[in-house]
Chains A and B, each alone.
Chain A
């Protein structure tokens, strides 16, 4: 009962909202026509923006009321115009003093060239019609109630119609959701475009952070170990000169050289730990995180449930993420206890770090969390944070495809029994209609052999013989076809997955 009431109310509000789109359509179409007919091109972007605001609302409502989450379907916006070294901004072959005109041009092109803009327009134009359909239940009720009050005999019929329309309301909504999705949902093209966009972004960020890392390592080596080795070499040179004339001084210098080599080693150790901790390569993620936990001043409890080791690059990213999260817990969270949980869901590596600190962590502000995100982005990893003020802070890191050796294809790969039965039947029996009862019978008939043998068709009356022969041949081919195609169809998804390279690291 409630369900129908809710559905009717929703279809009423959506319908009324859709009716107002008539005004929007007129305005937007006018703006577009003006922008082309009279060259008032500046009218186009605001018109498009109005459209997009309306469809954004429709997408939101679709997710909330119609149970159909619809993502934006637009192509990624153009990148900001870069200033050239000579201080000018370039658009095609023109140079501008400010980025405003090139930015505007890019945006205009982006809006105009995006098919989603025109799909939006189509949706807004047709939406009032569908809105009217959505209002049907309310209209039917609206007619039925007054007539019933008047005691008119048609009231019964109208009442029945109202009930039917109300009962159909959820279906109406479902249809409306489908319609929304069709025109407002992302297309394969726009999905691909935004995927490429985000991959590009991740790629750039990875390259950037790698370059920064390399610069840091270079600096550390240059100022640290390298400088100390030079000092050691010089000291040894001095020792060489002194060893005959002043053995005591030479001995003291040797001691100094030894000390310097020790310091250099300590520095190198620190550096190596920052690049790739030795425990990680020796023991893998689980023990490396345990070692981290032991070195942390907090009380850290680590649970690891992994059957296979992730790929080394992923392992390293995961390790440094955990390390950074632990540092954060110490530095900002004011935590005493931390729980780290490492497990897998299929091929996804999931790490959860929970602390009992004061909470309030925000990736927008913390550069540490931003760094983790950047590190994870290279592997399609996702960082989710729940950190209400007052704590606790729960950070979840998901790294898909991290565990390549984890086999989760079994569950999906298993064909249902009935499909196996068809395949078996096809391979086992398809020959029967195809050859003896099909092709061979046809040949017998063509050469008019009198020997009927077991070719049952030849015993039947003349007119049905040819049709039956053709039917048998078709049946045999169809059975073979089914036997071959069903498994292919079934495993297509898995094949596609396996055909795409997932390995990140090739063992040399």
Chain B
């Protein structure tokens, strides 16, 4: 059975493009809306397997989409939402991750250009994982790099942590960094010890733990 998707995007061309793209990859688009209130109704009414949401939507053209997504997730905990935006902000990433139930994506709109990666991200979010834009992760790490535990990481471990935080599995990380999977496993274990986190098999919880940790450093 194919995954059911709700799409919220106010630009007609982009909305149609997303619909075509996701349909072509075997998703069932149950609703494609263009404003915040419509989105909230679709999310709570349709209960899709995943939602692809633009941050800026009518009527106010502020962060309407984000607010609707957050409201829907309060009503339906763990509702998978992939947020798209022209710009990424740590602030928004933290708000999205704050409830700790995962199934969150936050990507730049540019990432849609690479259909494979984008669809992969949608699938990951639908499965309850995370998909964070590399730019968010880079900002997170850059601004927290001076803090003690992160400073202890080796450059290679930081690379692994970055990919991990994006929501990638060990297999994907090993492919990216041209390492064996066991080597990646060793790195992650070392990261966990250095960051004082209990190791866990669960991909998703692992990433959340990392982000929660990054969050905690700040507040």
Interface residue ranges, A against B (CB under 8 Å): 258, 261-262, 265-266, 269, 272-273, 278-279, 281-283, 287, 290-291, 294-297
Question: A273-B87, A291-B91 are known contacts. Are A283 and B110 too (CB-CB below 8 A)?
Answer: no
Report how far A296 CA is from B140 CA in the complex, Å.
10
Is there an interface contact between B87 and A278, defined as CB atoms closer than 8 Å? yes
Structural contact, B86 and A297, CB atoms closer than 8 A: no
Binary contact readout B89-110 vs A (1 if CB under 8 angstroms, 0 otherwise):
1110010000000000000111
Q: Give chain B residues whose Cβ lies under 8 Å from the Cβ of A282.
A: 55-56, 62-63
Interface size class of B (residues with CB under 8 A): 20 to 34
Say yes or no: A297-B90 contact (C-beta < 8 A), given A258-B113, A262-B113.
no
Q: Are B110 and A291 in contact (CB under 8 A)?
A: no
Asked if B143 lies at the interface with its beta carbon under 8 angstroms from chain A, I say: yes
Q: How far is the CA of A272 from the CA of B109 in the complex (A)?
A: 15
Q: Which residues of A contact B86 (CB under 8 A)?
A: 269, 272, 278
CB closest residue in chain A, given B88: A269
Chain B residues whose CB sits within 8 angstroms of the CB of A261 once the complex forms = 110, 113
CB <8 Å contact, A287 and B87 = no
A149 to chain B, nearest CB (A): 79
Q: Is the CB of A279 within 8 A of B91?
A: yes
State A283–B90 Cα separation when bound (angstroms): 14
Q: How far is the CB of B64 from chain A (nearest CB, A)?
A: 9
Interface residues of A: mostly helix, strand, loop or mixed?
helix
Docked pose: A269 CA to B63 CA in angstroms: 17
Q: Is B113 within 8 A of A291, CB to CB?
A: no
Q: What 4 pairs between A and B have smallest CB-CB spacing?
A: A294-B90, A291-B91, A282-B63, A282-B62
**What are 13 pairs between A and B in contact, CB < 8 Å?**
A261-B113, A265-B109, A269-B86, A273-B87, A278-B56, A279-B89, A282-B55, A283-B63, A290-B91, A294-B139, A295-B90, A297-B145, A297-B146
Q: From A257, which residue of chain B is reached at the shortest CB distance?
A: B113
Instruction: Judge whether B12 is part of the interface by a CB distance below 8 angstroms.
Output: no
CB of A295 within 8 A of CB of B87, answer no
Q: Give the residue of B56, B90, B110, B146 whose beta carbon is less than 8 angstroms from that of A262.
A: B110
User: Bound complex: CA of A379 vs CA of B63, how far in Å?
Assistant: 28
Contact yes or no, A269 B87, CB < 8 A: yes
Say if the beta carbon of B216 comes within 8 Å of chain A: no
Assembled-state Cα–Cα distance A291/B93 (Å): 11
Min CB distance, A466 to chain B, in Å? 73
In the assembled complex, how far is the CB of residue A330 from the closest CB belonging to chain B, in whole angstroms?
A: 11
Chain A CB within 8 A of B142 CB: yes
Chain B residues lying within 8 Å of A297, measured Cβ to Cβ, are 142-143, 145-146
CB distance from A136 to the nearest CB of B (A): 69
Which residue of B62, B87, B145 contacts A283 across the interface (Cβ within 8 Å)?
B62
Residue contact B89 to A266, C-beta cutoff 8 Å: no
- Residues of chain A with a CB closer than 8 A to B114's CB: 258
Q: Which residues of A contact B146 (CB under 8 A)?
A: 297
Q: In the complex the two chains form, what is the Cα distance from A269 to B135 in whole Å?
A: 12
Q: In chain B between 41 and 98, which residues have their CB closer than 8 angstroms to a CB of chain A?
A: 55-56, 62-63, 86-87, 89-91, 94
